Amino acid sequence: MGPSLRPNPNFQTDQHMTKLNQIVAVEKGVKSRSLQELTQAHHDLQKPQLLNGISRTYQPRDEEGERFPPESTRVQVRTDDVLKKTKEILTRLFDVTATKDLTNCHAKADVRVDGKVLLKGAPATYLLFLEKQLVDLHTFVKKLPTLDPSETWTPDPAQGLWATEPVQTAKTKKVPRNHVKAEATEKHPAQVEVYYEDIVVGYWKTVKYSGALPALRVHELLERVEKLQQAVKFAREEANAVEVQELKSGDAILGYLLS
C-alpha cells in the first residue's frame, strides 16, 4: 500500500488542529533526535563485542577431577532489535517531513502592500525565500550612493546623469613686471626689482556630473523595501497558520525496506 492520509494523535488534539508552523518546529526536534539515535545504532553495530556472546561449562573427566565455574558473555546488541528501532525512528521522521511538505503545498497567502495585493496566493516556502532576499536587498539599497548635499543638482536627460549649474572661474597667468627702485645715474645703474602679476588669460566653465541618487530617492526605496518586508512577514505567518494535512509514508517505505 502507498502513503495515506489519516488522523494521527501526534499531530492533533480534540481542542485544535496542528498548524504548519507547529509541525515545522516539531520536525527540527525529530530530525535532531533521529540523527543522534541512528548514529548511536550505527556505532553499536560496528562493535563485534556487543553482538557476540559465549557460554562455557566445564566437565571433568572423572569425579576426582578439578572443577571450574561456568563462563558466559551476554549478547548486548541484537541486529533485529536495532532494525526495529531504526524503523520506528525513521517512520516518525518520514511522517513528520511528509506531513510538512504536503501541508506546504496548500500553505499560501496574499502579500498586501498599502491595501493592494502585490502577490496572490504566494506559497509559504517562497515567502520564506523572499523574506531572506529582502534582508539582503535592504542592505543593498541602504548603501546606494547619494548626491553631494553641498551642491545643487538637476537632471541631465541627455546623459542620464545629475549635473550642477555651470560655475565660471578665471584662468590666470603670472607675468613678470619690473619695479624701478632707483633711477640710473652716471655712477650707478638703475636698481630694478622683478615681481610677478597674476593676469586673467581666460575662463573655466565647470559642470559636475554624478551617477548617484538623491538622498530622498534612496529613502523612498528603503521605505518600499521595509513595507514589503513587513507584508511578507505577515503573509508568511498567515500561510504557516494553515491546518496540517497529514501524510503518513513511513510505514509504507520502511515496511518495504526493513520488514
pTM of model > 0.75: no
User: Is residue 1 predicted with pLDDT exceeding 80?
Assistant: no
For 92-102, give one letter per residue: b (16+ CB within 10 A) or e. Answer: bbbbbbbbbeb
pLDDT at 26: 85
Strand ranges (DSSP E) for 80-225? 108-113, 116-123, 153-156, 161-164, 167-182, 191-206, 209-210
CB atoms near residue 127 (< 10 Å): 25
pLDDT band at 158 (very low <50, low <70, confident <90, very high): very high
User: Is residue 15 predicted with pLDDT exceeding 80?
Assistant: no
The two most distant CA atoms of the chain are separated, in Å, by 161
pLDDT band at 229 (very low <50, low <70, confident <90, very high): very high
Residue entry with cell 555651470: 166
**Angstrom distance (rounded) from CA 172 to CA 219:** 43
Higher pLDDT, 24 or 32: 32
User: Is residue 7 predicted with pLDDT exceeding 50?
Assistant: no
User: Is residue 14 predicted with pLDDT exceeding 50?
Assistant: no
pLDDT at 191: 83
How does pLDDT run across 188-218, given as a tens digit for each residue?
787 878 888 899 999 999 999 999 999 999 9
Residues 6+ apart with CB under 8 A from 181: 191, 192, 193
Mean pLDDT throughout 33-57?
91
CB 109 within 8 A of CB 124: yes
